[in-house]
Structure 1
């Protein structure tokens, strides 16, 4: 039920069906001293921030409001298997039926003045539209017969090479009775000039060459999105639409010791999505919902490499054309009903059809094949190419969730999902396979007090396969290895997850401290395997390597600095440490499959008297020897510390000017790559390449206003 502020003492009353009633019972009259204070629901599971709490900070958007709440981290939407039931963000108690078009993308577009309150939901409930999250953020908008707002943002960016770029966004929100609509049109600059320097050594560490590379991405991202919802009585409807264009050219120039090489790439990336849902609540407490999503994504590009002589004549040496179109159609129905006063159950069924059409054409000067216009006027590389492959999956997922309030301090949510799918492939390979999986989970929460909560979860997970790995794909990470082989026998990765976490919320909303320990037992880990069919052309592919394990600990804290006289300053810190192990299929050695972790320190201070904010975010990655081992290379990538700064000022009540310094330390990414001949399995070390690259710092000026 949607709760609203009414009458004296700002009581919570029930207005409609957007927010679960059980989670929003407020404290009794007299327990709230002021409407600008935060408070906790009667069962301690929800922390509520009224709009008046944020007024001293002059926020423009919902994102600005969330920045003032300690311990809040909202993930994105999209990705994953179908629609599912996961997520950590609701708007008016509802999630958006979308994958790329997610509620997270809307937070910058919703004006702060339209928000009635923000709720941090720490408990589980059968009435929530999302399940299994550590905490859920619910943004409740103000109820009104009629309202509208328009938000404009202008963006200017200066890059290290003195290239200036500009962008803008326009958002309009309107409510007329039960109809609400939000539309956004955006042009986002995304230029990058990455400088790359490499030194090459032989096996004895004698320098044998150098390489200097300039890699320029000349990109502007264009996006249109819309969300419309309508509520009448006990029924609600939503419709969402998204269109994005990421197309751009990329130019690369490489200077070796004795030669010059250029690359031109023309990327054509587009994506559209429509989605919606219909929900109805019955008088007996039962609820039904129907959701659908349709997506269509095209990712095509042509890359041409040229040798450049002293007279600047360009002689084509490599042609790569990659085409991928992915379409997905999903529909889900679910039904929720109470069993007792303390127990609820949700039943659901989802059907998803995903189809990928792909092709890859690689031509070069290094073969004896006759030249072909289809391969850019060069000789075809048939072992590396994919003239056309179609992969289609039809998947059914049935699920049941049971939510049980054991007592006023404990809840237990259990679920069981059954998944049945068929994957059919046609093209160079004709293949069809069926898969069946059971995915149980348990989520137990115990409130020691209203401020301290223990959470323990056990669950079974199944990965979504990347259909592009079923056929040959271009390798854009290694200039000497132009393609990866396909693997039509690839199977989903399964893992059993164990996690225990403890959260403590400090008194008077002065901060949050979290710690989580996890362990992952992985079956059929997806990594690189040997896919060579011709010894003269060693190839690798994505494949099921075998069992693996991951473990680690997440620690984070977010504190208001009132104890040192800065109540409007928040300092946040993270310390995350991971480890993992797998037997590498090429070397037979025990290797790590993920990074070691990182430390992060953030700071934000709002000088409310001046309507000024400033802060920073510093990240320090831990290096620990994780390697990407391939058929011919062993690669280690290391990131360096990074620092982002910002300062923001509000003018004339509704005009915000924000200056950002991104990558202030000229953060480098460094790599060591060892090349073996003929392979890492049975060859010798031929060359060592040590390189670092950076796009360097850039300055961004944002001017935002709402009217």
Structure 2
């Protein structure tokens, strides 16, 4: 009853805030506000923001500009799904979706210099002839002339035990030469992380049976080169080419000491090593056929992913040293061909698409253990090597038209075919036919209110790695692999409303729900094994609020508060306990607050942030676990927007010492049996100091 009331109050409050007229609300005038004031118009269908609207933020690129559109939060496209399919995310560039996969939209936006942004239009996805988009969508319109460049350098130091991060930065160029627009960037997302703290192991009655002190260090670099080229022909044809390639190197070490009654003292050393590289090349060509348009899209990508995890545990007495090692080498390829044909009949827009994709994963996993001479020797690891291939095709027909001056309909109907084959003793060859589609409405009942609704039938995708056996020697878990997995399907529904509050800002609310069949969760395999598998059904529902509140009407000129709040519930029937519980490791609640004050008539700004995130518990057949931070990190920063032409920001994050915590409970033989013991850790990582220097080149 309490949970139901909480949801009622949250939903009613959000609807009231969006629909009720604010006391001092003003309709957008279309005039650009002075540089020291925030944009007066909140995002709504047809609302545009000019570069002058962002002048007080001194943006260097399109990402900086879009990040400061009131009430708008950039949503990345779903780059994990196989194929391209219909558009995802909520950002277009010059009215087009980005056809790459390994390069996210944030990287693409950072490559576009602010000097080359003509305007940013905020529209409802249902009003566009780009199937898949829903709710508020940003279209970044560029008008490049000449070449411009940007750079950012962000060294970082942690207060505790972790070496300085000195290699994080990006340099990019963009512009136009004649009818050709191009952009390129080199970026290294470096990270130097770590934490340390105690872990206690105790029985159900609270008796401590083991005490541990552990220290974790994580070093990584992700250098990546990416580029795009767009050429507009005199006959109206458009050619887009994109490419990207990079490496991901990560080294992890966890050192620990363990003491407990009746046990020898132990020293534990866990190391992980990743040496990964990938590349992608793609493009599209759009041209006219009479009054219609045809776009041809192609993409090929490759990912080589070797991983090695080693556990060495030595003892203070003459107990033999324990050694385990898990190795994994993955090679994944994807090749996509897609065609989109667009035409118009009267007030209606039509689009027919046809796509084919070939996906392949070669997995070679191995498990080794120490012998009597402390030498690693292979041990039997069934179903750990194999090849999974998928041939997938889909066709969709999309129809859109205005039903009234303030009401637009978009509908799509499609069919997906996939053939999954797996090599090895337990390999299978299966085919699936799945219908998919959606109906979306965009309604603008008043100049200050936009409402959209969407109902969709979606077909999910499988993680090919779940088909083969894998292990985690640090956590002591093994997945047996499951060749009988089938893709999940779902009915997805949402309603979204955006309210312009005039000079006060904007507020957006979204209610959503999912009914999922064949959801993937951990299921029993044989008598004692476990692996990802399908369960009959699951539900997800939630509410999300996104808002920007301006303090100008209260007399604090140039100040704003951005807020994102999400509350989500989920349910499925547990395959062990046979009771309903939440889905494994899904978001439960999130609260993100960002305050910024650009001091009028100066180049100074300062701000603060708070990020609280909590997810549901994770479940295996013999354990459950939860990772969390409490309450969440708080950060502050000071920024000067003109230090010899550069923007310099100094920030301190986690100033109140939020720790990284984890707890895990073990059962025998499974979770419906006896509770054995619980591990609970609390690791401190301390304040994080970052200096960011950005400018034009």
The partner residue of 1:336 within 339, 342, 363 is 342
What residue in structure 2 maps to residue 248 of structure 1? 250
TM-score by length of 1: 0.87
What residue in structure 1 maps to residue 64 of structure 2? 64
Does the 8 Å CA contact 2:557/2:600 hold for their aligned counterparts? Answer: no
What residue in structure 2 maps to residue 485 of structure 1? 480
Does the 8 Å CA contact 1:60/1:705 hold for their aligned counterparts? Answer: yes
Question: d(CA) in 1 for partners of 2:31 and 2:225?
Answer: 43
How far residue 435 of structure 1 moved from its aligned partner, in angstroms, is 0.8
The partner residue of 1:308 within 285, 307, 314 is 314
Does the 8 Å CA contact 2:193/2:219 hold for their aligned counterparts? Answer: yes
How far residue 238 of structure 1 moved from its aligned partner, in angstroms, is 1.0
Structure 1 range deviating more: 582-591 or 102-111: 102-111
Query: Which string of whole-angstrom CA distances, capped at 9 and with x for unpartnered residues, describes residues 143-185 of structure 1?
Result: 53xx011222222110232521212322122311111111111
Query: Which string of whole-angstrom CA distances, capped at 9 and with x for unpartnered residues, describes residues 245-273 of structure 1?
Result: 11122222121111101123221111211
How far residue 421 of structure 1 moved from its aligned partner, in angstroms, is 0.5
User: Match of 1:246, SS?
Assistant: strand
User: Match of 2:52, SS?
Assistant: helix
Query: Which string of whole-angstrom CA distances, capped at 9 and with x for unpartnered residues, describes residues 537-574 of structure 1?
Result: x3310011221111121122212211112342211223
Does the 8 Å CA contact 2:51/2:119 hold for their aligned counterparts? Answer: yes
Give structure 1 regions of 4+ aligned residues with deviation exceeding 6 angstroms. 35-41, 311-314
The partner residue of 2:653 within 653, 662, 668 is 662
The partner residue of 2:492 within 473, 481, 497 is 497
In structure 2, do the counterparts of structure 1 residues 196 and 301 end up closer, same or farther at CA, with 3 Å as the change threshold? Answer: farther
Residue 378 of structure 1 pairs with residue 382 of structure 2: no
- Structure ranking higher on relative contact order (CA contacts 8 Å, 6+ apart): 2
Residue 649 of structure 1 pairs with residue 633 of structure 2: no
How far residue 282 of structure 1 moved from its aligned partner, in angstroms, is 5.1
Question: d(CA) in 2 for partners of 1:528 and 1:440?
Answer: 29
Residue 525 of structure 1 pairs with residue 519 of structure 2: yes
What residue in structure 1 maps to residue 682 of structure 2? 692
How far residue 51 of structure 1 moved from its aligned partner, in angstroms, is 1.5
Does the 8 Å CA contact 2:44/2:123 hold for their aligned counterparts? Answer: no
Does the 8 Å CA contact 1:677/1:684 hold for their aligned counterparts? Answer: yes
The partner residue of 2:628 within 630, 638, 646 is 638
What residue in structure 1 maps to residue 361 of structure 2? 356
User: Match of 2:63, SS?
Assistant: helix
User: Match of 1:563, SS?
Assistant: helix
What residue in structure 2 maps to residue 15 of structure 1? none
Does the 8 Å CA contact 1:388/1:428 hold for their aligned counterparts? Answer: no
What residue in structure 2 maps to residue 583 of structure 1? 573
What residue in structure 1 maps to residue 117 of structure 2? 115
User: Match of 1:438, SS?
Assistant: strand
User: Match of 1:85, SS?
Assistant: coil
Query: Which string of whole-angstrom CA distances, capped at 9 and with x for unpartnered residues, describes residues 210-269 of structure 1?
Result: 112212112122111111111112011111111121112222212111110112322111
TM-score by length of 2: 0.89
In structure 2, do the counterparts of structure 1 residues 666 and 546 end up closer, same or farther at CA, with 3 Å as the change threshold? Answer: farther
How far residue 283 of structure 1 moved from its aligned partner, in angstroms, is 5.6
How far residue 629 of structure 1 moved from its aligned partner, in angstroms, is 2.3
Question: d(CA) in 2 for partners of 1:44 and 1:219?
Answer: 41
What residue in structure 1 maps to residue 303 of structure 2? 297
Residue 617 of structure 1 pairs with residue 614 of structure 2: no
What residue in structure 2 maps to residue 207 of structure 1? 208
Q: CA RMSD in A?
A: 2.6
In structure 2, do the counterparts of structure 1 residues 39 and 239 end up closer, same or farther at CA, with 3 Å as the change threshold? Answer: farther
Gaps of at least 5 residues in structure 1 are 1-30
Does the 8 Å CA contact 1:591/1:627 hold for their aligned counterparts? Answer: no
Residue 559 of structure 1 pairs with residue 560 of structure 2: no
What residue in structure 1 maps to residue 228 of structure 2? 227
Query: Which string of whole-angstrom CA distances, capped at 9 and with x for unpartnered residues, describes residues 673-703 of structure 1?
Result: 111223324x422211112235433111111
How far residue 431 of structure 1 moved from its aligned partner, in angstroms, is 0.9
The partner residue of 1:274 within 272, 276, 281 is 281
Question: d(CA) in 1 for partners of 2:689 and 2:411?
Answer: 48
What residue in structure 2 maps to residue 548 of structure 1? 538
Does the 8 Å CA contact 2:383/2:426 hold for their aligned counterparts? Answer: no
What residue in structure 2 maps to residue 453 of structure 1? 450
Query: Which string of whole-angstrom CA distances, capped at 9 and with x for unpartnered residues, describes residues 639-676 of structure 1?
Result: 32222332221225631111222333333232331112
Residues paired across the two proteins, number: 654
The partner residue of 2:268 within 240, 261, 273 is 261
Question: d(CA) in 1 for partners of 2:498 and 2:175?
Answer: 38
